[in-house]
Amino acid sequence: MSSCATSKLALIFFLSLILSNYSLALNQTTNIGVIINEASRAGKEQKTAIEIAVRKLNSQHGNHHLAVHFKNSKGDPLEAASSASDLIDKENVQVIVGMDTWEETSMVAKIGQHAKVPVISLTADALRPLSRLRWPFLVQMTNLGMHDEVRCIVSVVQSYNWKRVIVVYEDNVYGGEYRAVSLLSEALRKIGSFIEHSVVVPHFTSPFDPKETIRENLVDVVTTKQSRVFIVLRSSLQAATRVFEEADKLGLMGRDSVWILGDGFSSFLDSLDPSVFQHMQGALGVKTYYSDKSTRFLDFKSEFKTVFRSNYPEEEKFEPGINAIRAYDSIETISVALGHLGSSNDTNGTELLDIILSSNFNGLIGRIDFRDENLSQSEDFQLVNIVGKSYKELGFWSLESGFSNSLEPRGHLSLKQLPINWPGDLINRIPKGWVMPSNAKKMTIGVPDSTSFDRFVKVEWIESSNKTKYTGFCIRLFESVVAVLEEKYGYTLPYEFVNHSGSYDDMVDKVYYKNYDAVVGDVTILANRSQYVEFTQPYMESGLSMVVPVKSDTQQAWKFMKPFTVEMWLATFGILLYTMFVVWFMEHQVNREFRGPWKDQLGTALWFTFSSLFFSHREKIKSNHSKVVVMIWLFVVFIITSSYTASLTSMLTVRMLEPTVRDIEWLRKTNAPVGCDPDSFVGKYLRDVLKLQNIKNVSRQEEYPDHFKNGSIRAAFLELPYQKYFLKEYCNEYTVVGPSYKFGGLGFVFPKDSPISDDVSGAILSLLEDGKIHEIEKEWLDTQDCTSSNPGLETERLTLASFWGIFLISGLASTISLLIFLYRLLHNKIERRIISFNGSHWNNESRWRKAVRIVQIVLSLNHNRVQPRENLEPTNEWDQRTPPIWELVSPTEVPEHLEVGRPTQLEIPMRKMDQN
């Protein structure tokens, strides 16, 4: 070849090389690494969505192409880490996308940090906010973390007050780094619940038979575990599907079961085969919410279904889920970031990370805007209920507002009001969330072996049978409760009694420390005990009362004095004597029966007054004033005698129990000894609350009478059930004094997390409503009151406060009558004097002159100063004997023609007192 030809070839090669480099410069390519589990549904959706995004974005940007390099992690975090290294070293990728699990994400993020390659994760963060500090090159395509999902699930558990749960999750060799179970356990503990058991499902790639392992784990739940609240926390679609198939066969999808599905499984509900739904009817799902109504999403959905059907014809459903949406948005985020970087081939990882985190555009899921390496847009969980061949939407949950029935505006939602279709077609009530396991071990129930009143609980050792016999009211009641549980709740409660020889507080503490599964006995419900254990519905009221002996009645001879108080007796005698005086004074003027020597007059007045008490007086009353007084007095007598008779009859016919100690204040002042049960809380209550210090322990009911007799105690403080039985046993010998100090009642004791306590409470209520507890109480306690005794204090005596009104009326009537009588008597006397000194001239004088005359006569009533007229001649009634004794004449006896104001020409003849 000539030199000319060679030169031409060299020129052509040189020009082609220049054009090639120029073409590469115009068509810049960015390598993107994608790590997914191609065998999972999530990996298939992610791969399809990424292919659609790359094809669409490359067609829109002719000079800037995205080259995607897929790696299959097979669900193994080590495989994912190895794939990341290969992508960085061999494919020279500038960003890595994908990872189905947090284990894979954490390992790939560590490799990306060393190589300064951004890693975009499509899974929820389990370590927020620590992940941002540990892996600064990690970007989360979600605003929801594992903490949020756990809090949503726990909120559902709390809404229905389920105490025990069983968590279901898929096994992997890196379970130590998988924090979902520990997060759930911690969140449940805060609401008073706990994980009773964990069902670990083998990985779907396990060489062992997954179904057989799942069946063995679920059989163990059926036979030994109480909880029926299952939480499917983190499982692949294949593993969770197998769990539901085996659970349905074993009856774990029954009426008392609850299944809550986490977001890891609920996100695939749209892609599940309809045949799978038949095994999970009634389950509640928690899934990430996204809007599927926008035009852009509908276009993507149409294209996705076409590609997905072409790539994976073996799949039953072809709709995209949240995994596909996040994968598509992640590729678009990278494309937008590269567009901001320009045409530089030497892309810096830190610079690319900063551009990605500064993204701000609308994606399929919503606004793509990052804050703290996470999407800043608020995301919500949607609560769904699986019914039929699909699911129905119930509401939403967010970290800020909890459950709500809508997104805008948010309204508070109570899950108990929702029409949820629970497993087993249960609609009318909420599942209990627990059942009695078929091979459950017997419950260890503590019983006090020594009680003050063995009618409540009695423990006996039977030598012939070499067994312990448990009897008493509480034991009989518990046996009835167990029968109700079997009849109405459909399960048998296996149990065995264990003697407890310590105090009641120690017995309750053993329930708290799990030494006893329950306590059956006469245990009082107290606030400090309720902080550590759970009490059932009280089956009997409780309270503390003071019981003291009654006084022996040694004053029977003076019983007739007790109806009236001392003040009442004094007031009665006072009004009687006053009435006697008034009647005597007025009748003495006009009634011969009230005259004579002073002794006779006093006897007549006393006899008349006392005989009027029995309405048997015979003396005639002549004065109208006296008749008024006597009429009112007889009314007073009727009321007083009736009241006295009724009170005395009650005292003589009903025995009153008068206590030897009146009140608790006397016990404090005198520091008198009191007795109580040494094993109960009563002693502490007497010291701390009632401030009593001299307290004696009395172990047995039979010891109380002896302690009272020898004076070692003055009062006994018994709880209300014991007090009723004690008074029945010792009828009319003791009585209750003072108020009763109320408590919460008597109940059975269970641990705080025991679901059985609710059923036992329901059984107790059924027995109360049916009257069975009353029958058991009558059988064992027979607490009917004594018919011949009054458990109260002595009947109240009649006091002056009840009668001062009628006494006042009687006294006023007597006083007014006496004053009127005295006025008329004085008036007549003055008038006689005037007429005797002025004669017939009196009526002819003027009124002014009469008034002057009356004043003069009143001032000169002294006989030594009054001089009769000289021309006054004596009447025929006067003789030459000693002047007669003048007699006061009642105003009612004055003749009408001599009344003041009437003209008369007659002189008033003055009568002489009859000479005896």
| Residue 255, pLDDT score | 81
| Residue 614, pLDDT score | 63
| Residue 510, pLDDT score | 93
Average pLDDT over residues 15-25: 46
Q: What letter does residue 313 receive in the DSSP assignment?
A: T
Average pLDDT over residues 761-776: 91
Q: In DSSP terms, which residues pair with 444 in a beta bridge?
A: 496
| Residue 869, pLDDT score | 41
| 229-234 and 258-261 strand pairing | parallel
The predicted-structure confidence for 562-590, as pLDDT tens digits, reads as follows: 777 888 888 888 877 787 777 777 776 66
In the CATH scheme, what is the code of domain 146-291+380-417? 3.40.50.2300
49 membership: H or E segment, kind and range: helix 41-60
Query: Residue 352 is encoded by which pair of tokens?
Result: 């690319």
pLDDT surpassing 70 at residue 692: yes
| Residue 175, pLDDT score | 46
| Positive/negative CA dihedral, 806, 807, 811, 814 | positive
| Residue 483, pLDDT score | 93
Average pLDDT over residues 819-835: 71
| Residue 224, pLDDT score | 87
Dist. CA 852–CA 861, nearest whole Å: 14
Query: Residue 905 is encoded by which pair of tokens?
Result: 């020409």
| Residue 148, pLDDT score | 82
| Residue 814, pLDDT score | 77
Q: Which of 33, 43, 26 is nearest to 67 (CA)?
A: 33
| Residue 748, pLDDT score | 95
Could you give the percent of the chain with pLDDT greater than 70? 75
Which has more confidence, 132 or 16? 132
| Residue 447, pLDDT score | 94
Q: Which residue type does 459 have?
A: V
The predicted-structure confidence for 136-190, as pLDDT tens digits, reads as follows: 888 888 877 778 888 889 999 998 888 889 999 887 654 444 577 888 888 898 8
CB 323 within 8 A of CB 89: no
Average pLDDT over residues 490-507: 89
Structural domain 658-744, CATH architecture:
3-Layer(aba) Sandwich (3.40)
φ, ψ at 446 (rounded to 5°)? -80, 140
pLDDT surpassing 60 at residue 646: yes
Cα angle, residue 852 at apex, residues 850 and 854 outer, rounded to 5°: 70
237 membership: H or E segment, kind and range: helix 237-249
Which has more confidence, 532 or 237? 532
| Residue 896, pLDDT score | 41
pLDDT surpassing 50 at residue 913: no
In this prediction, residue 768 has a pLDDT band, given cuts at 50, 70 and 90, of: very high
pLDDT surpassing 90 at residue 478: yes
| The 746-751 sheet, strands edge to edge | 495-500, 443-448, 518-524, 746-751, 533-535
In this prediction, residue 534 has a pLDDT band, given cuts at 50, 70 and 90, of: very high
Integer-rounded Cα Rg, in Å, for the chain is 54
Say how many C-beta atoms besides its own lie within 10 A of residue 134's C-beta: 12
SS3 assignment, position 206? coil
In this prediction, residue 376 has a pLDDT band, given cuts at 50, 70 and 90, of: low
Region for 745 from its dihedrals, namely left if φ exceeds 0, alpha if ψ lies in -120 to 50, beta otherwise: left
| Residue 620, pLDDT score | 66
CB 205 within 8 A of CB 176: no
546 membership: H or E segment, kind and range: strand 543-549
**Whole-number average pLDDT of the chain:** 78
Average pLDDT over residues 226-230: 90
Residue with tokens 């072809």: 318
Q: Which of 36, 75, 98, 48 is nearest to 236 (CA)?
A: 75
Dist. CA 681–CA 505, nearest whole Å: 8
Which has more confidence, 25 or 702? 702
Most confident of 272-286, 363-377, 791-805, 895-909: 272-286
Dist. CA 255–CA 420, nearest whole Å: 13
Angle formed by the axes of helices 847-859 and 804-838, to 10°? 100
Could you give the percent of the chain with pLDDT greater than 90? 12
In this prediction, residue 840 has a pLDDT band, given cuts at 50, 70 and 90, of: low
Query: Residue 244 is encoded by which pair of tokens?
Result: 């539901």
Query: Residue 495 is encoded by which pair of tokens?
Result: 């149990």
| The 284-288 sheet, strands edge to edge | 194-201, 164-170, 229-234, 258-261, 284-288, 381-387, 390-398, 402-404
| Residue 131, pLDDT score | 60
| Residue 824, pLDDT score | 74
Structural domain 28-143+293-375, CATH architecture:
3-Layer(aba) Sandwich (3.40)
The predicted-structure confidence for 792-812, as pLDDT tens digits, reads as follows: 444 567 777 777 877 888 778
Alpha helix ranges (H) inside 280-374:
295-311, 322-341, 349-357
Q: Which residue type does 704 have?
A: Y
Dist. CA 894–CA 896, nearest whole Å: 6
Dist. CA 626–CA 526, nearest whole Å: 71
The predicted-structure confidence for 53-112, as pLDDT tens digits, reads as follows: 888 888 876 667 888 999 988 878 888 889 989 998 888 889 999 887 777 888 888 898
Pick from 30-44, 47-61, 511-525, 592-606: least confident: 592-606
pLDDT surpassing 80 at residue 890: no
Most confident of 598-607, 748-757, 828-837: 748-757
Cα angle, residue 185 at apex, residues 762 and 219 outer, rounded to 5°: 65
Cα angle, residue 170 at apex, residues 168 and 173 outer, rounded to 5°: 135
Dist. CA 116–CA 109, nearest whole Å: 10
| Residue 57, pLDDT score | 85
Q: In DSSP terms, which residues pair with 381 in a beta bridge?
A: 288, 397
198 membership: H or E segment, kind and range: strand 194-201
The predicted-structure confidence for 158-167, as pLDDT tens digits, reads as follows: 988 888 899 9
Alpha helix ranges (H) inside 591-657:
598-612, 624-653
| Residue 95, pLDDT score | 92
| Residues contacting 440, CB < 8 A, separation 6+ | 224, 226, 494
| Residues contacting 724, CB < 8 A, separation 6+ | 781, 783
> Which string of DSSP letters, residue by residue, matches 695-715?
EEE--STTHHHHHHHTTS-SE
3.20.20.70, 3.90.1530.30, 3.40.190.10, 3.40.630.10: CATH of 443-540: 3.40.190.10
Say how many C-beta atoms besides its own lie within 10 A of residue 297's C-beta: 19
| Residues contacting 253, CB < 8 A, separation 6+ | 244, 247, 259, 279, 280, 281, 282, 423, 424
In this prediction, residue 347 has a pLDDT band, given cuts at 50, 70 and 90, of: low
Q: Which of 156, 237, 167, 230 is nearest to 200 (CA)?
A: 167
Dist. CA 390–CA 388, nearest whole Å: 6
Dist. CA 536–CA 516, nearest whole Å: 16
The predicted-structure confidence for 432-454, as pLDDT tens digits, reads as follows: 888 888 777 889 999 998 887 88
Say how many C-beta atoms besides its own lie within 10 A of residue 913's C-beta: 10
In this prediction, residue 616 has a pLDDT band, given cuts at 50, 70 and 90, of: low
